[in-house]
Chain A
Amino acid sequence: MILEGKVWIFGDNIDTDAIIAARYLNTTDPEELAGHLMEDIKPDFPATVERGDILIAGYNFGCGSSREHAPLAIKGAGISCVIARSFARIFYRNAINIGLPILECDQDFSALVPGEDHLRVNLDEGRITHVNSGNTYEAVPFPPFMQEIIKRGGLTGYVSSRLAKD
C-alpha cells in the first residue's frame, strides 16, 4: 500500500497521556477521541490535522500508559501512518493490533515543515520518500509474523482466522 500526506512533527518521549489525556477515557469512540488528540501539548492540533496526514516523532513514541485509546485517537483523526525513530513497546503492539500503520525509521525528520512537506510511504517495502526532494529512507522491516497480523487488518482478524481453523 502506498500513502502520501503532509507531515506533522513531534519530539522524543511523547507519552500516551499527551496523545490522549485520561479525562477523555470515558469513551471508546475513535472519532470522539480524535477531537482531543495531542490537545495538552498542541491545543490546535485536533482542528488542524486532516485525513491522510502523516505523524512523525522522535524516540520512544507512545511511552507510558497502555491505553489503546491513543492509537485509536490517531486512527480516528484519519492519520494514515506514524513514523518514529523508535516506539514504546505497548504502543507498538497496540498499533499493530488495531491495524494502524506505523514505521520505525531512525532518521531525523525534524527539519521538515509541518503541514507543508509531504512524504510518500510504501508500506509493503518500508520505503519513505520526501516528495519534493525525492530523497528516500528505509524503515525497519516487520517480521513475517507481524506482517501476517497487519495483513489480517489487526489482531482481531488474525485471531478470528485462527478460531475459524480450529
Chain B
Amino acid sequence: MDQQSSTNLGATMVEKILAKNSGRTKVIPGDLINARVDLALGNDITAPVAIKEFARFGLDRVFDRDKIVLVPDHFTPNKDIASAEQARELREFAQKYEIKHYFEVGRMGIEHALLPEQGLIKPGMVIIGADSHTCTYGALGAFSTGVGSTDLAAAMAIGEAWFKVPSTLRFEYNGSLPASVGGKDLILYTIGQIGVDGARYRAMEFAGSAVEELSMDGRMTMTNMAIEAGGKCGYIQPDETTFTYLQGRATGDYRTYYSDKDAGYEQIFKFEVNGLEPQVAFPPSPDNVRPVSEAAGIFIDQVVIGSCTNGRIEDLREAARVIKGRKVNPGVRLLVIPATQLIYRQALNEGLLATFVEAEAAVSTPTCGPCLGGHMGILARGEKALATTNRNFVGRMGHPESEVYLCGPAVAAASAVAGQIVHPEEVKP
C-alpha cells in the first residue's frame, strides 16, 4: 500500500510523542530528529560497553540521575568471573554517578517486567534501552525502542537520541480470544503472517476488541515481540486497563496521546481471532509459526516458562492452573523463572510456586538466563526446548545443534506434563 506521509493527514500516537520530545509541532515518517529522552536503560551486558564510551566524554555527571535505569539481569546471579566483573562495573557506575534506579540481585527483575511494575513507565514518554526488547513499554502508550550501547552512552551524557520517524503499520484483532489463547499467540501469529522483517523500521500499532480484552501482562507480551518482526516499536493506546495498571505504581502526572482517525498508516492489517489456535514458532526463526495442532507429538527435553515476554504473574497463574496436581513428564526438565522479585513473592503467596515445585519443576530467582543461552538451562547438542521466550535462532539456548520452539504459558505447561508438544485442552481433567 502507498505510504501516506502528507502533512495534511492526522498523526499517529508515536508521531505525536516524537514531535513533542523533539520540540516540533509535527513530524512525518522519514524525518530525522533529535528527541529528548525521558528514560534510558541498560543491563549487565550492554551497559559495560556504554560505560566505556561514556568515559570518553570526560563528564563528572550524567544528564539526569533520575532518568537512567541500570538492571543487572542477563548473566545474574553472576554466572562466572567475567560476568561478575561486568555486574561490578554497573554497580560501581551506579554508585559513582548516584543513579537512582539501580536494582540489585534480590530486589531486581528482568528489566522489561521490572520497569513497568515499578511505575517507571508512563504514557507519552520517550524511552530508549540498550536492549532490543525495550519495545515492550509501548503497551503503556509510550514510545519505546531498543538501541545500542553507544546510544545509551550518548543519552546518559546529553539526554537525547537521534531517530528516523517510523511509518506505522496498524494491526486490528477482531473477535474474542478463545480459551488458552493470549497475547503470545496473537503476536506469534502476526510475526508468522508478516515475517521477521515485515515491520522493519516501522511502528506497530495494536488495536481491536481482542487487544482491548487483554490485561497489561498480555499486552506487554505483544509489544515485547514487535522487534521479532523488525519493528522499531510496538504500542497500544492507553485505556481503562492502562490507567488501572498505573494506579498505585506511577507517580506524578502524565499525558496520553492517541492516533487521529485520519492518521496516515502505511498499511492496515485485520485479523479475526475467534477460531485462532494457540501458536508455536518452530526453529530457527520466530516467523516460522504454525498452530499448535501441527506441532503435536514433537518430543521435548526442556520447557522454560519465564523471560521478559512471558514471566509475569498472569503467565505463572496460567501455567500453574494447567499443571496443578500433575507431575512434569520424567523425560522433561521444567524451569520456571518469575520475571521479578515482586512477581516471585506474589507467586509464593498465591501458592503457585508450591504447585510448580510439587510438580517437580525447578524454580529460579529472576534472570534472563536460558532465554539467550546465558546460563540456568543451556541445551546440549540435539536437545529440543519449548519456551515462552522470544527467540529461537540457531544456538539461541545453547549448542548450535539444539532447537527452540516458542509458545505461550498454557502450551508450555501442558507440554511439560505430556513430554511432547500438546494443546492445553488435552491435559485438562
> Which listed segment binds A: B19-27, B79-87, B116-124?
B79-87
- Inter-chain contacts of A65 with B (CB < 8 A): 132, 372, 391
Contact of B394 (CB < 8 Å), options: A17, A25, A26, A155: A17
Report the interface size for chain B: residues with CB under 8 A from the other chain. Answer: 49
- Inter-chain contacts of B131 with A (CB < 8 A): 66
Contact of B197 (CB < 8 Å), options: A13, A68, A98: A13
A59 to B201: give the CA distance in the assembly, Å. 13
- Inter-chain contacts of A26 with B (CB < 8 A): 75, 79-80, 82-83, 86
List the B residue with the shortest CB-CB distance to A72.
B49
Question: Which residues of B334-374 have CB atoms within 8 Å of chain A's CB atoms?
Answer: 372-374
**B391 adjacent to A68 (CB under 8 Å):** no
A143 to B164: give the CA distance in the assembly, Å. 11
Number of A-B contacts (CB under 8 A): 137
Q: Flag whether B291 is at the interface (Cβ < 8 A).
A: no
Binary contact readout B46-83 vs A (1 if CB under 8 angstroms, 0 otherwise):
10110011001101000000000000001100011011
- Inter-chain contacts of A60 with B (CB < 8 A): 196-197, 200, 230
**B374 adjacent to A22 (CB under 8 Å):** yes
**B395 adjacent to A156 (CB under 8 Å):** no
**A159 adjacent to B57 (CB under 8 Å):** yes
- Inter-chain contacts of A15 with B (CB < 8 A): 391, 393
Q: Flag whether B400 is at the interface (Cβ < 8 A).
A: yes
- Given A68-B46, A89-B230, also A97-B151 (CB < 8 A): yes
Q: Flag whether A55 is at the interface (Cβ < 8 A).
A: no
**B374 adjacent to A156 (CB under 8 Å):** no
Q: Flag whether B147 is at the interface (Cβ < 8 A).
A: yes
State the majority secondary structure of interface residues on B.
Answer: loop
> Which listed segment binds A: B154-162, B176-184, B306-314?
B154-162
Binary contact readout A16-54 vs B (1 if CB under 8 angstroms, 0 otherwise):
011001110111100000000000110000000000000
A71 to B49: give the CA distance in the assembly, Å. 12
Contact of A163 (CB < 8 Å), options: B46, B57, B162, B372: B57
Q: Flag whether A69 is at the interface (Cβ < 8 A).
A: yes
A146 to B163: give the CA distance in the assembly, Å. 11
Q: Flag whether B130 is at the interface (Cβ < 8 A).
A: yes
- Given A156-B153, A159-B158, also A17-B395 (CB < 8 A): yes
Name the distance in Å between A64's Cβ and chain B's nearest Cβ.
6
Q: Flag whether B146 is at the interface (Cβ < 8 A).
A: yes
A86 to B230: give the CA distance in the assembly, Å. 12
Q: Flag whether A5 is at the interface (Cβ < 8 A).
A: no
Chain B residues with a Cβ under 8 A of chain A: 32, 45-46, 48-49, 52-53, 56-57, 59, 74-75, 79-80, 82-83, 86, 130-132, 134, 146-151, 153-154, 157-158, 162, 196-197, 200-201, 227, 230, 232, 285, 372-374, 391, 393-396, 400
Chain A residues with a Cβ under 8 A of chain B: 13, 15, 17-18, 21-23, 25-28, 40-41, 59-60, 63-69, 71-72, 86, 88-90, 93-94, 97-98, 143, 145-146, 149, 154-156, 159-160, 162-163
